[in-house]
Amino acid sequence: MEVQLTEEQAKQLAANAINASKPMGMGWLHYTPTSYTLEDAARCISDRGINIDYFEGRMVKLYVRRNGDMYSFNDGEPRGDYQSWCVEYPTYQALIDSVLEVT
Protein backbone atom coordinates (compact mmCIF):
# COMPACT_ATOMS: atom_id res chain seq x y z
CA MET A 1 0.00 0.00 0.00
CA GLU A 2 1.32 3.41 -0.95
CA VAL A 3 0.03 6.79 0.20
CA GLN A 4 1.05 10.41 -0.31
CA LEU A 5 1.82 12.26 2.94
CA THR A 6 3.09 15.73 3.72
CA GLU A 7 6.05 16.06 6.07
CA GLU A 8 3.67 17.09 8.87
CA GLN A 9 1.38 14.10 8.23
CA ALA A 10 4.38 11.74 8.30
CA LYS A 11 5.46 13.20 11.64
CA GLN A 12 1.90 12.90 12.98
CA LEU A 13 1.67 9.29 11.80
CA ALA A 14 4.92 8.45 13.58
CA ALA A 15 3.79 10.29 16.73
CA ASN A 16 0.44 8.47 16.68
CA ALA A 17 2.17 5.08 16.41
CA ILE A 18 4.61 5.96 19.20
CA ASN A 19 1.91 7.29 21.53
CA ALA A 20 -0.30 4.24 20.93
CA SER A 21 2.59 1.84 21.66
CA LYS A 22 3.28 0.16 24.98
CA PRO A 23 6.54 -0.85 26.63
CA MET A 24 7.47 -4.51 26.41
CA GLY A 25 10.07 -6.57 28.24
CA MET A 26 13.17 -4.57 29.11
CA GLY A 27 11.50 -1.56 27.51
CA TRP A 28 9.94 -0.87 30.90
CA LEU A 29 13.39 0.30 32.06
CA HIS A 30 13.34 3.12 29.50
CA TYR A 31 9.63 3.93 29.61
CA THR A 32 8.26 7.27 30.76
CA PRO A 33 4.52 7.85 30.52
CA THR A 34 4.29 10.89 28.26
CA SER A 35 2.69 12.03 25.04
CA TYR A 36 5.24 12.58 22.28
CA THR A 37 5.04 15.51 19.88
CA LEU A 38 5.61 15.82 16.14
CA GLU A 39 9.07 17.19 16.89
CA ASP A 40 9.88 14.09 18.97
CA ALA A 41 8.70 11.82 16.16
CA ALA A 42 10.59 13.79 13.49
CA ARG A 43 13.86 12.16 14.54
CA CYS A 44 12.46 8.84 13.25
CA ILE A 45 11.87 10.15 9.73
CA SER A 46 14.53 10.38 7.06
CA ASP A 47 14.70 10.61 3.28
CA ARG A 48 14.43 6.80 3.31
CA GLY A 49 11.23 6.65 5.36
CA ILE A 50 9.96 6.09 8.87
CA ASN A 51 12.04 3.68 10.92
CA ILE A 52 10.99 3.05 14.52
CA ASP A 53 11.96 -0.09 16.39
CA TYR A 54 11.68 0.88 20.06
CA PHE A 55 11.06 4.47 21.11
CA GLU A 56 12.09 5.21 24.69
CA GLY A 57 10.95 1.76 25.78
CA ARG A 58 7.81 1.56 23.66
CA MET A 59 7.70 -1.33 21.17
CA VAL A 60 6.63 0.43 17.98
CA LYS A 61 8.10 -1.63 15.11
CA LEU A 62 7.01 0.71 12.32
CA TYR A 63 8.95 0.64 9.05
CA VAL A 64 7.70 2.65 6.09
CA ARG A 65 9.65 3.21 2.87
CA ARG A 66 9.69 6.70 1.40
CA ASN A 67 10.10 7.92 -2.15
CA GLY A 68 9.66 11.69 -2.17
CA ASP A 69 6.23 12.35 -0.69
CA MET A 70 5.04 8.75 -1.26
CA TYR A 71 5.16 6.31 1.66
CA SER A 72 4.96 2.53 1.13
CA PHE A 73 3.50 0.39 3.90
CA ASN A 74 3.79 -3.35 4.45
CA ASP A 75 1.04 -5.34 2.70
CA GLY A 76 0.47 -7.53 5.77
CA GLU A 77 -1.50 -6.65 8.86
CA PRO A 78 0.23 -5.43 12.03
CA ARG A 79 0.49 -7.92 14.90
CA GLY A 80 -0.39 -6.98 18.47
CA ASP A 81 2.52 -9.01 19.83
CA TYR A 82 4.95 -7.09 17.64
CA GLN A 83 3.51 -3.68 16.70
CA SER A 84 1.91 -2.67 19.98
CA TRP A 85 0.30 0.41 18.37
CA CYS A 86 -2.18 -1.85 16.58
CA VAL A 87 -4.31 -2.11 19.71
CA GLU A 88 -5.42 1.46 18.94
CA TYR A 89 -4.93 1.32 15.15
CA PRO A 90 -5.68 -2.30 14.12
CA THR A 91 -4.55 -1.87 10.50
CA TYR A 92 -2.05 0.21 8.57
CA GLN A 93 -5.03 1.88 6.92
CA ALA A 94 -6.38 2.89 10.36
CA LEU A 95 -3.01 4.41 11.23
CA ILE A 96 -2.91 6.24 7.89
CA ASP A 97 -6.50 7.44 8.34
CA SER A 98 -5.52 8.92 11.71
CA VAL A 99 -3.56 11.64 9.85
CA LEU A 100 -5.49 12.12 6.63
CA GLU A 101 -8.14 14.80 6.42
CA VAL A 102 -11.61 13.40 5.95
CA THR A 103 -13.34 15.13 3.07
Which phi-psi region, left, alpha or beta, contains residue 33 (left: φ > 0; alpha: ψ -120 to 50)?
beta
Domain map (residue ranges) of the chain? 2-97
pLDDT digits (tens, 9 = 90+) for 12-27: 999 999 999 999 888 8
- Look at residue 103 in the predicted model and tell me its pLDDT: 37
pLDDT digits (tens, 9 = 90+) for 66-85: 999 999 998 888 988 889 99
* Rg of the chain over all Cα atoms, to the nearest angstrom: 13
Q: How many CA atoms lie within 13 A of 21 on its CB side?
A: 32
Closest CA to 10 of 64, 88, 59: 64
Name the average pLDDT for the chain.
92
- Look at residue 28 in the predicted model and tell me its pLDDT: 86
Higher pLDDT residue, 101 or 16?
Answer: 16
Between vectors from CA 42 to CA 38 and to CA 47, what angle results, nearest 5°?
140
